[in-house]
């Protein structure tokens, strides 16, 4: 056997298990070592680090979790895979959180074992390659953003892409959750397999099960032929369960089973079908409060949130607004075969100040509408071109709470700016007479000078 075959240390307190694993992995041409406990394993690793450690979770003296933590602290190049008893879901989640790359529930077949080992070693290779790349994380294809908040997201995406763990992507509507799910898939080792996004909230509840898991011929009236579901379609790839918070209790139970056993039951069949699907989920709801209300299963939540990525609302990444506006303006102008439009500084100020309740989607739609409706391509877009609700908006969400007088002052100034300082028009929009406006402006000037 060549010297550069990957090396594996197997740790288990049961001699029989050690022997079976050793035989199977040696047959698959790995260099295999064994240890019967955590201490013996650490002693071995201090002398001879290996590429992969496969450890049992439950061992009499010291839990395998401690070995995982030791490796993550001390031997960052070594991958870990955990073998768990079937009943310990929390243990498995904990193992992955502690840094185990994979967990394999017992009992497993030799094929399942070698497939998992191959997966982990491939990820290790990708990770080692990625480490040679410079520090600055490039934005994944199709995602615009340079703000610190988005840089952090890109780093999490890159990390999530090197594992097979479930990822829960949260964030307000239109913040780019689907885009992030897509990026994780296309950066992962499953990139050449399908990516299947599904909006769980949009499927009528009575159809969810057959849509997700498929149905057999004759499963129900109208089921004239066997039909695969989204899970079968995603086999080998990733599935994105969007609006996961909207799923019914019975669908939640079924999803939990898929996550635990990697197998699905087609509607009308009592035989499970094995699927190899990486599950990503997204939500714009606060799942923890749904758990408190009793409408979302806690065990499913923990299964889904092995890795969590929270997308910040657009108003918390103002540095990206200009970038996004320019990007979409160019994109839609190109599509319409027109020159890329410009925006005045005051218009861009309004963009920055606005609270963007619909986030990037709202910004995208607005820029598209502006470009499509534009009459004179040479004139830059200015404040009066923007929708009323934006021109007069004050972002009350940002910064410390303001007094009524401060809010009034900001509002008066933004209304005035939107009509280029025309007091008659401003007074009309504010619903006060010119005299009152003049008095208010005078007192604003005095207080500004204080």
Ligand X SMILES: Nc1ncnc2c1ncn2[C@@H]1O[C@H](COP(=O)(O)OP(=O)(O)OP(=O)(O)O)[C@@H](O)[C@H]1O
245 binds, among Mg ion, ligand X, none (CB under 5 to 8 A by kind): none
Q: Using CB atoms within 10 Å of the CB of residue 220, give its burial: 0 to 12 exposed, 13 to 18 middle, 19+ buried.
A: exposed
Which residue from 282, 284, 278, 286 is spatially nearest to 259, judged by alpha carbons?
Answer: 278
The torsion defined by the Cα of 133, 98, 90 and 110, in degrees rounded to 10, comes to 70
Indicate whether 63 belongs to the interface with ligand X (CB under 6 A).
no
Among 64, 105, 140, 176, binds ligand X (CB under 6 A): 176
| Minimum distance, C-beta of residue 169 to Mg ion, in the bound complex (Å) | 9
| Minimum distance, C-beta of residue 321 to ligand X, in the bound complex (Å) | 11
176 binds, among Mg ion, ligand X, none (CB under 5 to 8 A by kind): ligand X
Alpha carbons 209 and 205: distance in angstroms, whole number: 8
Alpha carbons 38 and 66: distance in angstroms, whole number: 8
Alpha carbons 447 and 444: distance in angstroms, whole number: 5
Q: Select from 31-39, 72-80, 176-184, 325-333 the region that touches Mg ion (CB under 5 A).
A: 176-184
Structure tokens at 312: 């910040």
Alpha carbons 29 and 240: distance in angstroms, whole number: 36
| Minimum distance, C-beta of residue 230 to ligand X, in the bound complex (Å) | 17
CB atoms within 10 A of CB 65: 20
Show the DSSP H helices in 86-137 as ranges. 89-98, 110-131
330 binds, among ligand X, Mg ion, none (CB under 5 to 8 A by kind): none
CB 145 within 8 A of CB 323: yes
| Minimum distance, C-beta of residue 399 to ligand X, in the bound complex (Å) | 23
- What character string, x for contact with ligand X (CB under 6 A) and - otherwise, covers 92-131? ----------------------------------------
The partner residues of 343 in beta bridges, in order of sequence, read: 381
- What character string, x for contact with Mg ion (CB under 5 A) and - otherwise, covers 212-251? ------------------------------x---------
Nearer to ligand X among residue 173 and residue 228 (C-beta): 173
Which 145-174 positions form the footprint of ligand X (CB under 6 A)? 145, 171, 173-174
Nearer to ligand X among residue 138 and residue 253 (C-beta): 138
CB 100 within 8 A of CB 64: no
| Minimum distance, C-beta of residue 54 to Mg ion, in the bound complex (Å) | 37
Alpha carbons 363 and 355: distance in angstroms, whole number: 11
Which 350-369 positions form the footprint of ligand X (CB under 6 A)? 360-361, 364
- The residues of the shown chain that bind Mg ion, judged by CB under 5 A, are 177-178, 242
- The residues of the shown chain that bind ligand X, judged by CB under 6 A, are 143-145, 171, 173-179, 242, 284, 360-361, 364
């Amino acid at each position: 056997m060549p010297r550069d075959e990957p090396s594996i240390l197997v740790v288990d307190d049961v001699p029989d298990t050690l022997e079976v694993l050793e035989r199977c992995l040696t047959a698959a041409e790995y260099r295999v070592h064994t240890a019967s406990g955590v201490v013996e394993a650490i002693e071995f690793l201090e002398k001879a680090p290996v590429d992969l450690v496969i450890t049992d979770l439950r061992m009499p003296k010291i839990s395998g979790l401690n070995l995982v933590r030791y490796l993550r602290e001390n031997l960052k190049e070594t991958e870990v895979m955990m073998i768990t008893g079937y009943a310990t879901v929390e243990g498995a989640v904990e193992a992955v959180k502690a840094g185990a790359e994979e967990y394999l529930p017992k009992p497993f077949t030799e094929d399942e074992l070698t497939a998992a080992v191959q997966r982990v070693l491939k990820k290790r290779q990708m990770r080692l390659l990625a480490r040679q790349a410079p520090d600055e994380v490039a934005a994944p294809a199709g995602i615009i953003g340079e703000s610190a908040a988005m840089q952090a997201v890109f780093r999490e995406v890159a990390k999530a892409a090197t594992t097979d763990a479930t990822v829960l992507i949260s964030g307000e509507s239109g913040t780019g959750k689907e885009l992030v799910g897509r990026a994780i898939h296309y950066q992962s080792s499953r990139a050449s397999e399908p990516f299947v996004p599904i909006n769980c909230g949009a499927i009528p509840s009575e159809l969810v099960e057959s849509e997700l898991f498929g149905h057999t011929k004759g499963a129900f009236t109208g089921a004239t032929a066997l039909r695969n579901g989204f899970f079968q379609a995603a086999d080998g790839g990733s599935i994105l369960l969007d609006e996961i918070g909207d799923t019914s209790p019975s669908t939640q139970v079924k999803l939990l089973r898929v996550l635990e056993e990697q197998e699905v039951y087609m509607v009308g069949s009592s035989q499970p079908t094995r699927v190899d699907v990486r599950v990503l989920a997204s939500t714009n709801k606060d799942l923890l409060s749904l758990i408190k209300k009793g409408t979302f299963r806690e065990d499913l939540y923990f299964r889904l949130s092995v890795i969590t990525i929270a997308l910040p609302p657009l108003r918390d990444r103002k540095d990206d607004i200009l970038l996004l506006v320019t990007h979409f303006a160019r994109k839609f102008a190109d599509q319409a075969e027109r020159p890329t439009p410009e925006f005045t500084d005051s218009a861009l100020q309004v963009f920055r100040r606005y609270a963007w309740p619909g986030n990037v989607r709202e910004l995208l739609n607005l820029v598209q509408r502006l470009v499509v409706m534009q009459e004179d391509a040479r004139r830059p877009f200015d404040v009066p071109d923007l929708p009323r609700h934006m021109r007069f908006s004050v972002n009350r969400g940002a910064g410390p709470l303001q007094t009524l007088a401060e809010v009034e002052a900001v509002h008066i100034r933004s209304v005035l700016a939107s009509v280029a300082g025309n007091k008659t028009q401003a007074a009309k929009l504010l619903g006060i007479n010119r005299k009152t406006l003049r008095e208010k402006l005078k007192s604003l000037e005095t207080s500004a000078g204080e």
